Structures are given as C-alpha cells and as structure tokens.
Amino acid sequence: MKSLCIKLLLPFFMLLPSVPAFADDLLVFAKESPDALVKRVTDEVLEIVRQDKEIQSGNTKKILELVEAKVFPHFDFDHMTALAVGRDWSRATPEQKKRLADEFHILLVRTYSNALTAYRDQGIRYRALKLAPEDTETLVRTEILQPGSKPIALNYSLEKHDDGWKVFDVAVAGVSLVGNYRDAFSTEVRANGIDGLLKMLVDKNKQLEASQK
Amino acid sequence: MKRFFCVICVALGLSGCAATGTHPDDPYEGFNRAMFSINEGLDTVVKPVAEGYETLTPLPIRVVIGNFFGNIGDVWISVNNFLQGKVEAGFSDIGRVLVNSTFGFCGIFDFASEMGLEKHSEDFGQTLGVWGVDSGPYLFWPVIGPRTARDTFGWGVDFAVDPVRRIRHDNATRNTLIGVRTLEGRARLLQAEKVLDSASFDKYNTIRNLYLNGRAAAIKDED
C-alpha cells in the first residue's frame, strides 16, 4: 500500500525541478550490460523505422536489412534453433543443424521485421534489471505501451558470451517465441524427420518472400 | 455453473465431433476447426471494416477511444483484482477510475498511468483461474473466438456485468458504443495478425498455443 501512496503523491513531486540525468553518461562499462544493450538497440532501430520514409511506405527489403544489420548480431541462432527443435536437435547432423539455423534465421528476420513495422508507433518502457556479476543468463523486461490497455510484456532472454550478451528467446505477453515454433517443429519432425522440418522452413520462407516483396 | 457446462457438452455432442484432437487440451479439435473456419469466413467482412477504421481514424482519436473504453473496463478489473485478493491492485484501479473520470475528462485521457497507477488486465475467467478452477477443454466459438470452458463461463459473467450493455434508455448511444468498441478491438488485432502470418505454420495451432499460454501467463500476472 505504501507504493500506492507514493504513486498518488508522485505528480506533486514531479512539479519540483528535475535533476539533470547525466549519471548514465558518467558510468562507462567495459562491456555493455544486457539491459543497456536491449535499450540501445531498440531505441536505435525504432528511431530509424519511425524516420525512414521508404520503410514507412512498405519497403520490406530495407527493413529486413536493418534488422539483419542492427538487431540480429545480438541474437544466438544456434541456441534459438536448438531450443525450437527441442529433443530432436541432438539427432540432426552438423550439416542439418547449420541449414536449420540458417532457415530459422531467415524466418525470424521476417517475423521480427513485421513486429517492428506493426508496433513502431507504440512507446517502449524498460524495466530495471537485477543482475549479479556471476550471472550468465538473464531476463531483460520491457513493455510495449498501448492506450487503454495494459502494457504488453516483451521480455528478452539473454546469455553471456565472450563477445557480449546474446538473445536466445523473446517472450511476448508471457508467450515464448521459440516455444511457439517448438510445437510446429516437433510435429513435423515426428511426421517427416529433420529433412521434413527443413523443407517446411524453406517452403515457408519462399512463401513469405513471394507475399511480401 | 454445472448446467452451463452441460450446455457446452450437449452442443459439442450435437455437432457430432467427440474427441477428435491430438492436443491434450483440445479434445474437440474437429468441432473447433469447423468453428475456426466459420470465424475466418465472418472475418472477411469484419476485417476490411476494421482496416477502414484504422486508416480513417487519426492516432490521437484512437488513443482517446482506447482510453475511454479502458476507463469503463477498469471498474470490473478492480472488482476482479479484489476477488483475486490483490487488494493494492484493486485500490489502484479505483484510483485510476477516479483520476481518469475527472481530470481525464470522462476517461479520454489516461492521467492515472502518467501518475504511475498501472493499467491492469483482469477478467472473471482469470479470477476463476486464481481460485483454482481448471481451465477445462479448449473451445473455439463463432464470433467470440478462442476460450477454454472455464473462460467461456468467465466471459459470460464479464458480458453480463458489462456497463455499456446496461445503458437501458438510450439504445442509439449503447449500440454506437458497442459498435465502436468492437471495431477498436478488432483493429488492434490487425497489428498482431501481421506478425502471426510469419510466426505460424498452421494458424489454428498458433492461435491455440498463444491463447492457452497467454491465459496461463495472465493468471500468473506474467503477461
């Protein structure tokens, strides 16, 4: 109840002159923290999407390139593909693994780009992160703000790598993106094996490419 | 409640599609898929109207419309928060309604959120879930779409207490409000649909997955 009182009183405190927020600039980390990474990349990409006339008028190729260049260097596709394929991943040959990860990568670029264009006008809020120095996995919580509804939770799961933190799953409103694909993938593997799954991904990517020039 | 479930069972029995699914939560998959395609058919009419509404309505107006209905919804959300034992959230929702109905000009501005009084999303189905009622089988209904048996009942209660439907003396106002609210609701799904297209191999399966996982997350307030 205490925090509720604070919230009700907050508008009065807001009338006080605000202290310049330069604390962030003074802190220089050798490596970017996972929440700072998510915020920087999201802000950077949304800024471009909101300003670029070609992207706004539906230039799919341009937004795909943007996601590929700015967002996806921070994603770990092998990890994501392994999670999405589930138990059957260990049965795949290295060659199959590589091709699966490549096709899944293409599919995710499109999914991510579609989400970005669909929600570009919405505000994003970043939740504070508690991270212990020894943590190698973490969840960065953000929220998509929308008028008249509860903000949609958009959470990134990240893992620590030698060259910085990498995303291996994204959950929208509590539903995991990788988990969403897992059902479809395992059904296909059961019916037609790893090669069947590979074909399903290739076909889906071709179909999306044809429909979204 | 028992009688309600009987009605559902009879309806499913009559459709002649008993236990067709392979998904453990979706025993009536045959029936559900039939209803799903009926809905997709209905949507070929509704979707273009929602798209027209989206194109013609400037963003600030849509914000106002969203806030207005959000404010009305906060009353029932507050009740559900109290029923779930979330007293602080319940009082926060009351605060939201008070602030937004006055300073927010009948709810068209959401000052409460600016003040840090978070908007919540609760309904009676979630309350039943918090009370430990099992979700029951997954069902796909014409018009209203996916609901588990529990959430179908919850939806019935939400529908019965809906303040907008209770406007008795002015049919024109009531029907306009219901119409605009429905259109705004459908228009909001347009964005999600664009993503769904690339995120799904079988739209029916993906919607089921999103619905079941999304509801489970909502009951635990992880959404």
Helices (H), chain B: 2-14, 29-56, 59-83, 87-102, 111-114, 124-130, 149-161, 171-199, 203-219
Q: Are strands B138-141 and A175-176 parallel, antiparallel or unpaired?
A: unpaired
CA separation for the pair B155, B209 (Å, rounded): 19
Chain segment A102-124, per-residue pLDDT in tens: 999 999 998 888 888 888 888 89
Tell me the per-residue pLDDT of B88-112, one tens digit each, with 9 for 90 and over. Answer: 999 999 999 999 999 999 999 999 9
User: What is the mean pLDDT of the segment spanning A151-176?
Assistant: 92
Is there a contact between A166 and A37 (Cβ–Cβ < 8 Å)? no
Locate B205 and state its tokens.
């399966």
> Is B218 an interface residue toward A (CB < 8 Å)?
yes
Q: What pLDDT sits at residue A103? A: 94
Contacts of B197 in chain A (CB under 8 A): 114, 208
Structure tokens belonging to residue B190: 């347009």
* Domains of chain A: residue spans and CATH: 2-120+181-211 (1.10.10.640)
Mean pLDDT confidence for A64-71:
92
Backbone dihedral region for residue A174 (phi beyond 0: left; psi -120 to 50: alpha; all else: beta): left
Question: What residues 139-178 of chain B have any CB closer than 8 A to a CB of chain A?
Answer: none
Evaluate whether ipTM surpasses 0.90.
no
Interface test with A, best of B59, B201, B219 (most A CBs within 10 A): B201
A210 CB near a chain B CB, below 8 Å?
no
Residue B115 DSSP class = T
pLDDT band with cut points at 50, 70 and 90 for residue B8: low
Low-confidence winner among B22-26, B77-81, B215-219 (lowest mean pLDDT): B22-26
* A151 interface with B at CB cutoff 8 Å: yes
Residue B14's pLDDT is 46
Contacts of B205 (CB under 8 A, 6+ apart): A183, A184
Q: Among the listed ranges A146-155, B12-21, B212-221, which one has the minimum average pLDDT value? A: B12-21
Q: How far is it, in rounded angstroms, from Cα B158 to Cα A140?
A: 34
Q: A186 at the B interface (CB within 8 A)? A: no
- Domains in chain B: boundaries: 33-125+155-219
